[in-house]
Amino acid sequence: MRMQGSAEQSAAATRDSIQSHHGWTTGIGDCCGDFKTCCAVMVCEATVMGQLVERIYRRKYSCVIITALLWVGAIGNLISFWYIPPCEHVYDGNKDGILTAEELLEDLDSNGDGVITGSETQSKAQPYYDCIDAYYSSGAFILASTFGSLFVVAMWLLTCIVRMKVRVRDSIPATVCSGCDDCLCALFCPMCVQCQLMRHEGLSSDNYKLVSPDGTRPFGSGPYDEESML
């Protein structure tokens, strides 16, 4: 009797949550409600997105393909935004790969008085700027930034499409501009939307597996059917 009462209370709480969040099981800002889901999206956003696509559209191997492509874009995004070329080597006098303070002082201090002035720094800084400019105009940087830009666009587009698919499937009413809320939410807070979608699909706590094509099913399992998605 106690277990039945607990189940009824849980079902009632779920119904109340759905009603208060316009049809979604949880709100878009309830990311901290499940720590495992939040960490998965923050660290492995590309993998989570692939899992959601395969789970919603039930296309086998779509997770592997989408995840691989998104990770290529994610790496390119990291390189283009955070990598700084080691152009200090232009001041490495003995070319041993280690720039010491003495070497830097010797190169920048034109008159040898032991004091590096602004004019001396400006006159000696051009090789460093040339090295930086060469990197940012190189094919490697252009390729990385292209992949990075495609990653950002693809992540927004996939998040928007998956959210719209779930909303239509579950008859969740649009709340902004006749459905534009899918695109707006995916644009301004894609990670929050992905967390919300995972919780809505039951991919939370012990129910979620990161190493899985759709968050629950093991690799190599049979074709999708209605029972397997319940």
Annotated domain spans of the chain? 87-136
Dihedral angle sign, alpha carbons of residues 133, 135, 136, 139: positive
Residue 133 class from Cβ within 10 Å (0-12 exposed, 13-18 middle, 19+ buried)?
A: exposed
Looking at residue 13, what is its pLDDT? 46
Tokens matching residue 64: 């592997």
The contacts of residue 126 (CB under 8 Å, 6+ apart) are none
pLDDT tens per residue, the chain (230 residues)?
444 555 454 444 445 455 445 578 888 888 778 888 899 999 999 999 999 999 999 888 899 999 999 999 999 999 998 988 887 666 666 565 565 556 556 666 565 666 666 565 665 667 777 888 999 999 999 999 999 999 999 999 999 999 999 999 988 887 766 667 888 889 888 999 999 999 999 888 888 999 899 888 877 676 666 544 44
Global pTM value: 0.75
Task: List Cα–Cα distances, 179 to 172, 174, 191, in angstroms.
Answer: 10, 5, 19
Q: How far is CA 182 from CA 74, 185, 204, in A?
A: 22, 5, 22
**What is the structure's pLDDT at 10?**
44
